[in-house]
Every structure is written in C-alpha cells, then in structure tokens.
Chain A
C-alpha cells in the first residue's frame, strides 16, 4: 500500500508542478490544489499505514494494545486540509479578480510589476 501511495504522491506532485508552470491562471489554481493534496497524502503515508486498528481502547481492555494507528498524522492532515481549503478559496477569488482587472489569463503577461 505504501508503495502505491508513494507513486500516487509523486504523480500528484509532478502534475501539480507541471500545471503551475503553464501560463494559464486556471491551471495555476489546479496545480496548487494538486500540490496541497500531495502534501496531505505524504503526511498521511509517512505516519505509517495500518488497517483496522483505530487508536481506541477496546471494551475488554483497560489500555491501548499495540499495534494501533498513529492518530497524530491524521490530526495534522485535518488541519492542513482546512488551511489548504482556505488558501485555495482565497487564490480562486484573487485569480478571478485579477482576470477581471487585467483582462488576461496569461501569467506571462503579468509583467507590469517586474522591472
């Protein structure tokens, strides 16, 4: 499972970066979305994958029995998803506004602030 996810993460990262290097604003946004999801999956995977072992104390036991899934990476991923969502929502609005003002969705033509 880890190997499969490793490939998925790698694919997401490369797709995200590829999209961000295109000239279209919409692709920039899609690229950012893919990148943040790739990072989330990476945290999830690097915390170790375990199936059917929730970190809960069974009714017959009085303490947690190993092996159990580490809940911390999942908490981290949850936080990161929320933050990523907020950032993405802002970026979508920013790009839409910029498109309205500049009248252009070609990132290469946003040069008035350089040089």
Chain B
C-alpha cells in the first residue's frame, strides 16, 4: 500500500487499536492509562502528518479495499477535513492527559479510556469520510461512545441528561438514515463527489431541496442549532468536566463540519433558499444560546449555553457563503474548538478545588489561585472576542463578511451577542474568581481551595491557552490558511477531480457554468 493511504487510515485506525488493546487489559488501571496517553500521542502525530500532507492544497483520496469510487467507500482529506482531524486529535490528547487526574478510579475501571478512543475514532472518521452512509456509521460510532461516556458513573443528573441526549440524537439519526435512503432512491449513489455531479442533473431540483432540509434537521440537531439545541444544555453539564470538555469541543463541531461539507458540495440545488434558512437559523441560534446563558447561575451551564450561541456564528458564516465568510467560519471553528475545550477544563479544576461549579457557592479563587484565574481569562476573553486573542479575529471576519453581504440585522445581532458573551464571562469571573469565598459556603469549598492544583490538569489548560494566544498574535498564517481552505470548499470541482477524476470534474464545471448562464438569463 502506498504511504499516502496510511496517512488517511491511521487517524482512524490508531484510536481503534488503542481502544482494542485497552479492552484486553481490562482492570489493569495503570497499563490502560499508559496505553491511553501513548495512543493519543500517536494519534496526534499521525494527524499532524496528514495535515502537513494537505498543506499545499492536495486533496488526498483513499479508496477502501481498492474499490474504485464511486462504488466503494472513500476516505478524503482536503484542508478542512485534515484541520478538523488535527484538532480532534489535539483535543483528544489534551483531555487524555487531563483525565489522568480528573477521572475517578471507578469510571476508569468501567472502561473510560477505551470509550474515549472509540469516540475519537468516530469523530475522525466523520471528518475524513467521503460517503454519506459511511458518515452515518461514524456518527453512530461517535454517538454510542458518547452515550456511554455521558452516563458513565450513573449519577442521577447524568442519567436524566443521558435520556434526553439519547432520545433526541436517535431521532436525528433516524431522520439522517431516512433521508439517506430517499437520496439513494433518487440518484443511486451516496459518494459525496458523485452526488455533487449527479444531483445537478436531477430533473426536479425541488425534491433535492426538500431532502436537504431533512438533512439540515438531522445535522442541525447534532450541531445544536436553534430550535433543536435543547438536549445540549440539559446534558452537557452533567458528566465530569473532562468528558464535557471533549463533547463541547468536538461533537457539535462534527455537526457544523458536516453542514459546511454538504451544503457547499452536495445540496446546492437552491442556494438562495438554503442559505436564507441557514442564515436565520444561525442568527437565532446565537441569540437564544446567549440569552439562555444569561439566565444561568452555574459555570458549567453557562458554558453549555455558550456552545450553542457560538455555533450560531459558524452557521452564519456558512450561510453568507462568500469566500470571506467561509474562511471566517473555518477560522471560527478552529478557534472555538480550542477555547471551548479549555473553558470546560478550567471549570473542571474549579470543581476539583471547590466541589461545585454553582456561582453562588464559589469564590476567592483569584487570591488563592492567580494562575488559574489567568488561565481562565485567556479563553474567556477570547470567547467574548477581545483583541488580540483568537476570538476577536474570528468574529471580525464573520461580522465584516456580514456587512459586505449587507445582512444588516443579522450582523447587528452578531455584535450584540458578542456583548452578552462578554457579560456572561464577566459574571463567571466575578463570581468564581474575584469575590471572596462566601461565608455560608460548605466547609469543603472553603478549605479545598488550599490544596494544590494537579499538574496533569493544569498542563493541558496551559497548552491550549498558549494556542489561543499564539493564534491571536500570529493570526496571519492561520487566516491565510483558512482562506485557502475556504477556496477549496467554494470550488467543488477540486474535490470531485480528486475523487472521481478529470472527466467528472469537467462535467461538473460544465453544469455549474450552465447554471450561471441560466441565472444571468433569468436576471435579465
């Protein structure tokens, strides 16, 4: 097998391998922990190599079992897919190291480490696949692992949260599956590239648009967009923070990634309609997410609502569908994965120190743990969009794209939501770090502050905070990279040429040209 094929397969195979070996050593806690860290490290290295291989704009394609596309399943890595895989592996590594201290022995004994790697496999599979049904399978791998991780430990809130999470996600899966079946009935293929070519020749494009709305509901629920996000704030604050951090960073972003992929490549039958729908979904997601956060009084619940609100910005960027907006959306995803994971990790340390994350019972951490306060400030200010941190440039790009597209109301709301985000972050800062430890706090909260922070927990937080700062100060290279990735996304012929060859790409280019001509005629 050629070495370039290994690049694509390893990010999926390595976590599977790690999980399988850890299962063999069930009950041997130290060995499992060692394997888990080694596996996550190897995964990260494999993802870096994949990312480097796509850096010059090549789109890597691997037909599995050597079945030539469109008949077999293909793995495809363009710049967006490779970047997401890299971030997935990076968050995986950070959370695995953090878990060494943050996850109790009981959860570890019940297979925490193997499950975490299965989750990473599902996530990376979803980022790299080039086939719709295969995407469904990766979604289910990811979901099953996340179901168990969410319920692991069996505390009452966890189980209640898990029921809501499971029920709503399974409805989304059913819709996804049904829509996939109908799409296959319509065009007889499920390969992304092949779909991109064939869906343009469907005699009734209205059916494709209707199907795309089914997919929008299915993917939108996973991404946590308005009005489908209610499972997210009901469940994400219940598991231990290490698990919540991984979910917060990666799972909803898989939904966003798939929306970007499908609505730029496959479902382009009526871009005006779909983009308008996406635009308002994005705006309402931002607004209702942030309003939900304002009403909360628990650090982890506030952060959960902010996941929803930030997803709105990415959908907004996708909906505008200009080169600037799409580059902004990609930049936003990169920034958000790092920042959000980090905030949940900080929330975990707060909980470790004070035994709670309810704002009323915490306090005094700024005096006792100034380093932690600083480590919270970096991702929090970045989330709110304060220069020179990464979030400022992400928001700047999206807002500027909104103004250029003359979406005045939507852009206005985006700016307003940024303000409310700042308000939420200030609230956490005031209550958790700035104010004195409340008099009526439980004895544990008062005295536990004195205990040292475990290095395994602070190290990943520090590393991710450094990432945020360095993205902020070295914004140029990453911005250029996002623009190149967006160019790849905006021109579907690049993807199709890589997967199916020149002939299909030429055919696709032809039909795009014809559509443009027809539109110009209609405009006259």
What chain B residues lie within 8 Å of A43 (beta carbons)? Answer: 177-178, 180-181, 184
CA–CA, A38 and B173, complex, Å:
12
A97 touches B151 (CB 8 A): yes
A97 touches B159 (CB 8 A): yes
Interface residues of A in 43-78 (CB under 8 A from B): 43-48, 70, 72-73, 76
From the candidates A39, A42, A72, A110, name the one contacting B163 in the complex (CB within 8 A).
Answer: A110
From the candidates A44, A79, A113, name the one contacting B235 in the complex (CB within 8 A).
Answer: A113
A72 touches B184 (CB 8 A): yes
What chain A residues lie within 8 Å of B182 (beta carbons)? Answer: 42, 46
What chain A residues lie within 8 Å of B159 (beta carbons)? Answer: 94, 97-98, 101-102
CA–CA, A87 and B233, complex, Å:
22
Majority secondary structure, B binding face: helix
CA–CA, A101 and B162, complex, Å:
13
Interface residues of A in 3-52 (CB under 8 A from B): 20, 25, 28, 32, 35-36, 38-40, 42-48
A90 touches B184 (CB 8 A): no
Please name the residue on chain B nearest to A111 by beta carbon: B160
What chain B residues lie within 8 Å of A110 (beta carbons)? Answer: 160, 163-164
Q: A43-B184, A47-B184, A48-B185 are in contact. Are A79 and B156 (CB under 8 A)?
A: no
A114 touches B151 (CB 8 A): no
Q: A39-B181, A43-B181, A72-B184 are in contact. Are A87 and B140 (CB under 8 A)?
A: yes
Please name the residue on chain A nearest to B292 by beta carbon: A115
Please name the residue on chain A nearest to B170 by beta carbon: A32
From the candidates B143, B164, B177, B181, name the one contacting A113 in the complex (CB within 8 A).
Answer: B164
CA–CA, A47 and B189, complex, Å:
11
What chain B residues lie within 8 Å of A32 (beta carbons)? Answer: 167, 170
Please name the residue on chain A nearest to B155 by beta carbon: A101
CB distance from B297 to the nearest CB of A (A): 10
CA–CA, A46 and B133, complex, Å:
15
* Count of A-B residue pairs with CB < 8 Å: 106
Q: Is B161 an interface residue (CB 8 A)?
A: yes
CA–CA, A39 and B214, complex, Å:
13
CA–CA, A5 and B235, complex, Å:
37
A42 touches B181 (CB 8 A): yes
CA–CA, A99 and B355, complex, Å:
27
Q: Is B258 an interface residue (CB 8 A)?
A: no
CA–CA, A25 and B162, complex, Å:
13
CA–CA, A42 and B344, complex, Å:
40
Please name the residue on chain B nearest to A77 by beta carbon: B181
What chain B residues lie within 8 Å of A36 (beta carbons)? Answer: 170, 174, 177
CB distance from A98 to the nearest CB of B (A): 4
A112 touches B157 (CB 8 A): yes
CB distance from B403 to the nearest CB of A (A): 36
CA–CA, A45 and B184, complex, Å:
11
1/0 contact trace for B146-190 toward A, CB 8 Å?
Answer: 011001001011011111101100110110011011101110100
A101 touches B156 (CB 8 A): yes
CB distance from B155 to the nearest CB of A (A): 8
What chain A residues lie within 8 Å of B161 (beta carbons)? Answer: 113
Please name the residue on chain B nearest to A48 by beta carbon: B185
1/0 contact trace for B184-217 toward A, CB 8 Å?
Answer: 1110100000000000000000000000000000
CA–CA, A112 and B522, complex, Å:
56
CB distance from B241 to the nearest CB of A (A): 16
Q: Is B223 an interface residue (CB 8 A)?
A: no
Interface residues of A in 70-107 (CB under 8 A from B): 70, 72-73, 76, 79-80, 83, 86-87, 90-91, 94-95, 97-98, 101-102, 107
A46 touches B160 (CB 8 A): no
A113 touches B137 (CB 8 A): no
CB distance from B138 to the nearest CB of A (A): 11
A101 touches B137 (CB 8 A): no
B171 touches A114 (CB 8 A): no
From the candidates B144, B174, B180, name the one contacting A90 in the complex (CB within 8 A).
Answer: B144
17 contacts between A and B (CB under 8 A): A20-B171, A45-B181, A46-B181, A46-B184, A47-B181, A73-B184, A76-B181, A83-B137, A86-B144, A87-B143, A90-B166, A91-B166, A94-B166, A95-B163, A101-B159, A110-B164, A113-B234
Given contacts A20-B171, A46-B186, A97-B151, 16 further A-B contacts (CB under 8 A): A28-B167, A35-B171, A36-B177, A40-B177, A46-B184, A47-B184, A76-B133, A90-B144, A94-B147, A94-B162, A98-B159, A107-B163, A110-B164, A111-B160, A112-B157, A114-B233
